[in-house]
Structure 1
Amino acid sequence: MKALHFGAGNIGRGFIGYLLSKSGYTVTFVDISQPLADQINQFKQYQVITLSTSSAKETIPNVRAIHLRAAEELEDAVVQTDLITLSIGANNLKSTGKLLYPLLKARQQKNPEAPLDIIACENALFATDILKQSILDGADADFHAYLEKTVGFPNSAVDRIVPNVTLAKDSPIDVAVEDFFEWDVEAGKVKHNPDIHGVSYVEHLEPYLERKLFLLNGAHAAIAYIGFLKGYRYVHEAIHDEFIRKTVCAYHQEALEALHQKHHMDKPALEAYAQKLLRRFENHYLQDELYRVGRDPVRKLSNNDRLVSPLKLCNDLHLPYDAIACAIAAGFAFDYEGDPKAMDIQMDILDGGIKYAIRRITGLNESSEMVRNIVENYKKLLHLKRSCLVAVHALAAV
């Protein structure tokens, strides 16, 4: 069995490629970085280093890579593969769908009966649906029929922390990961790949998608943004801060109550999942920097992403959302100069004020109670930041 994975970054190598290789697939990566593709082709294998109380190393053998612009080689790979997976960033799904369209047309001509699955592995709700729609836009009826008959487009929920930790590696393409992972895939949409190692095939994916997006990604972002304001560098440091931990626990309670009411998910199971997340956030072996977790706040504060989605759900269900609003407010106060998207938000605040920035980024109505709550939290967090800066300067002067 052959697998083609778009995106040879840490998630691609340390999570998806890792599981596909353990499932017996011959894995080929596709990446826009020519140096990275060259390194993969040079070494032809890499190690996945699990960071826990006792680290372990596993070798992923027989891998190769194709540069995204190597049109002929890429077309041949798409025509012959059994599975296409992607971890390219949710913002790139639509453009990648346009790139895949002619490649799948070539497969229709050259290998029309062979079944295929395409799975987007992103921190976004129903990412594969977004990709599929981009592929189908403007397509003729014959191509529509071919895809419906032959190509599965299951959505998935993926969960593994893969930090940019600094450690000794045998090769530059080795990757470090946490010891926990979860990959849930829509069973009913799978055409050809029902036995991937480590995958849970589920009939109804939305509860798993939202559980992961709200409780992991949302809380992770909250730690990053509030931790940055308080002067921390790493997730494992920030989560031990009393104010941050209290806020994250309250965030979890608000979000899991909404999930419980919407999906009728077992509340004790949700609470156990939240407790497990806290232990994962405490893993100091990951050395996971807040800048990495919080990067691109424009996307993370957008209308259907990890913070605003649970806020809106709580509002719709008439549930409290103070801690979620605090996390969103911290995202608007995230003024890390090394992040261009964070600086874009700061320019919006400078030009139009905080309410304008919230409306533009989140799509929320400026006059809503949700926005008023975010604004109040934003003012409190700016005061908190100033207090922390004063304390740091006082210590420096001693």
Structure 2
Amino acid sequence: MKNVVIVGAGKEGKGTFGDIFYENKWNITFIDKDENVINSLNEKNSYIVEALYENYNEKHIIDHYHAYLIDDYTNSYESILNADVIVLALYPEDIKEALSKLKFSLQKRIKSNYEQKLTILCGTNKNHMMSKLENFLLDDLKIEKEWYCSNVALRDMIIRRSSNSDAKDAVQLTTKIVQTLLIQSPVYFDVSKFKWFELNNNLEMMKDIKLFTYNSPHAACAYVGYKYGYQTIEEASKNKDIKTIMEACVLEAKKGILSSFEITAEELDDFVDAPKPNGEEREYITRVALDPIRKLSRNDRLTGIAMICMENNIECPNLIKAIAYGMSYDCKEDISAKKIQNLILEKGIKKAISDVIGVDEMHPIIKKIQNEYLKIR
């Protein structure tokens, strides 16, 4: 039986990757830095995933796993020693810290299990990270280069599946299963045995496209929905005005993509137009809106595609409107949102927009966002 270590036992770790590898009868080990998450998994010895497929729903009971704190070096080492796959189900800002914690286990593996192939999958929406992470492993953590080059495949992914729960340590989750997850090829395990994994040879481009077409309307819904007083994405997306903005964001994004990416309109539609799951999952606006500094940044889901549109003389009023609503997002529990509001108070809205989205203050997009922002206030 094959072995997978899932680093990060939150909603994606349990609901997406735990479910996929359990379905394929792999031995699963969860590693997390949160004691509550690990205790919850070990106390229950199982968790439930309500799977929403296109035409039906079913409950999956995930059990017979192991769960350890990342600082539990004895047990985490044992799991890393024989792992065929390590999944990093983490936010981008947490990946280097996790790899640093796993350094000891990887070095021990080199000494005691040198020849076994290892695939490390990076499960985050942020793109163009692989070379930086590879340099971090080799240069900062001093992982042996010969072993790494001969035996390790560090690969990115496109997560075309959402999983949700009421809390990170929850043992009841939902997941939407209507599309495969795309994995950068090649890898050292047999992807053909997985119904919901698919290899892709052009993953960096497709990940940008996914970010601009899936995640941009999602973020727009969160930031506009928050201002309208909604609690969940499901509620907000049913609002006529918000639905119009979301759909327009996708249309604007498609125009920008077709002007700048080597993809046909038919291929783009096939990639973007996903089937709808049978039923809805509760997705809180504060989770989708989390960390607006990252989500509004220069190359991310909203500003990235808006800039592509502007560079190609494509009007994108709804993407600009979504960015403006993101600048107005003031959830007190969101550290990133608080930083933006403080920037606005200290520097004024124009300079704050420039600082947050990473675009020169004199660029025309700044004025457009500012005008939309002033309408909101």
TM-score (norm 2): 0.91
Range with greater deviation from structure 2 (241-250 or 62-71): 241-250
Q: Are the aligned partners of 1:155 and 1:186 in contact in 2 as well (CA < 8 Å)?
A: yes
Of residues 381, 384, 392, the one that matches 2:376 is: 381
Cα separation, 1, equivalents of 2:111 and 2:336? 42
SS at match of 1:8: coil
Deviation for aligned residue 1:172: 4.8
Instruction: Specify the alignment match of 2:293 in structure 1.
Output: 298
SS at match of 1:365: coil
Q: Which letter does structure 1 place at the counterpart of 2:171?
A: I
Instruction: Specify the alignment match of 1:73 in structure 2.
Output: 75
Q: Which letter does structure 2 place at the counterpart of 1:79?
A: L
Instruction: Specify the alignment match of 2:123 in structure 1.
Output: 121
Deviation for aligned residue 1:175: 1.5
Cα separation, 2, equivalents of 1:24 and 1:262? 42
Q: Are the aligned partners of 2:178 and 2:274 in contact in 1 as well (CA < 8 Å)?
A: no
Cα separation, 2, equivalents of 1:71 and 1:177? 31
Q: Are the aligned partners of 1:7 and 1:31 in contact in 2 as well (CA < 8 Å)?
A: yes
Q: Which letter does structure 1 place at the counterpart of 2:176?
A: E
| 2:99 matches 1:97 | yes
Instruction: Please list the CA deviations of residues 132-155 of structure 1 after superposition, one character each: whole Å capped at 9, or x if unmatched.
Output: 232122355x81121011100111
Q: How does 1:100-111 map to 2 (within 5 A)?
A: 100-111=102-113
Q: Which letter does structure 2 place at the counterpart of 1:109?
A: K
Instruction: Please list the CA deviations of residues 72-102 of structure 1 after superposition, one character each: whole Å capped at 9, or x if unmatched.
Output: 2212221211110011111112222323333
Q: Which letter does structure 2 place at the counterpart of 1:310?
A: I
Instruction: Specify the alignment match of 1:309 in structure 2.
Output: 304
Instruction: Specify the alignment match of 1:395 in structure 2.
Output: none
Deviation for aligned residue 1:376: 1.4
Q: Which letter does structure 2 place at the counterpart of 1:368?
A: H
Cα separation, 1, equivalents of 2:236 and 2:323? 17
SS at match of 1:286: coil
Of residues 252, 255, 258, the one that matches 1:254 is: 252
Instruction: Please list the CA deviations of residues 241-286 of structure 1 after superposition, one character each: whole Å capped at 9, or x if unmatched.
Output: 2322222222111111222233332324534655548x56xx8731
Instruction: Specify the alignment match of 1:227 in structure 2.
Output: 225
Cα separation, 2, equivalents of 1:201 and 1:187? 6
Instruction: Specify the alignment match of 1:386 in structure 2.
Output: none
Deviation for aligned residue 1:179: 3.6
Cα separation, 1, equivalents of 2:312 and 2:124? 27
| 2:235 matches 1:240 | no
CA distance 1:172–1:365, shift in 2 (3 Å)? closer
Cα separation, 2, equivalents of 1:47 and 1:261? 44
Instruction: Specify the alignment match of 1:28 in structure 2.
Output: 29
CA distance 1:111–1:46, shift in 2 (3 Å)? same
Q: Which letter does structure 1 place at the counterpart of 2:62?
A: I
Instruction: Specify the alignment match of 2:7 in structure 1.
Output: 6
Of residues 314, 337, 342, the one that matches 1:342 is: 337
Deviation for aligned residue 1:12: 0.5
SS at match of 2:182: strand
Taking only the aligned residue pairs, the percentage that are identical comes to 24
Q: Are the aligned partners of 2:191 and 2:198 in contact in 1 as well (CA < 8 Å)?
A: no
Q: Are the aligned partners of 1:121 and 1:127 in contact in 2 as well (CA < 8 Å)?
A: no
CA distance 1:15–1:196, shift in 2 (3 Å)? farther
Question: How much is the aligned-residue C-alpha RMSD, in angstroms?
Answer: 2.3
Instruction: Specify the alignment match of 1:146 in structure 2.
Output: 147
Cα separation, 1, equivalents of 2:118 and 2:249? 40
Q: Are the aligned partners of 1:157 and 1:185 in contact in 2 as well (CA < 8 Å)?
A: yes
Range with greater deviation from structure 2 (213-222 or 142-151): 142-151
CA distance 1:116–1:366, shift in 2 (3 Å)? same
How many pairs align? 373
Q: Which letter does structure 1 place at the counterpart of 2:249?
A: Y
Instruction: Specify the alignment match of 1:194 in structure 2.
Output: 191
Q: Which letter does structure 1 place at the counterpart of 2:307?
A: K
Q: Which letter does structure 1 place at the counterpart of 2:149?
A: E
Instruction: Specify the alignment match of 1:328 in structure 2.
Output: 323
Q: Are the aligned partners of 1:10 and 1:162 in contact in 2 as well (CA < 8 Å)?
A: yes
Q: Are the aligned partners of 2:15 and 2:164 in contact in 1 as well (CA < 8 Å)?
A: no
Cα separation, 2, equivalents of 1:367 and 1:43? 56
Cα separation, 2, equivalents of 1:316 and 1:98? 39
| 2:211 matches 1:213 | yes
Instruction: Specify the alignment match of 2:66 in structure 1.
Output: 64
CA distance 1:23–1:353, shift in 2 (3 Å)? same
Instruction: Please list the CA deviations of residues 343-393 of structure 1 after superposition, one character each: whole Å capped at 9, or x if unmatched.
Output: 1111111111112222222211111012121111111222xxxxxxxxxxx
Instruction: Specify the alignment match of 1:359 in structure 2.
Output: 354
Deviation for aligned residue 1:39: 2.5
Cα separation, 1, equivalents of 2:101 and 2:121? 15
Any gaps of 5 or more consecutive residues in structure 2?
Answer: none
Q: Which letter does structure 1 place at the counterpart of 2:233?
A: V
Cα separation, 2, equivalents of 1:115 and 1:369? 50
Instruction: Specify the alignment match of 1:131 in structure 2.
Output: 133
Deviation for aligned residue 1:118: 0.3
CA distance 1:361–1:102, shift in 2 (3 Å)? farther
SS at match of 1:346: helix
Q: Which letter does structure 1 place at the counterpart of 2:314?
A: L
Q: How does 1:76-87 map to 2 (within 5 A)?
A: 76-87=78-89
Q: Are the aligned partners of 1:163 and 1:286 in contact in 2 as well (CA < 8 Å)?
A: yes
Any gaps of 5 or more consecutive residues in structure 1?
Answer: 383-398
Instruction: Specify the alignment match of 1:155 in structure 2.
Output: 156
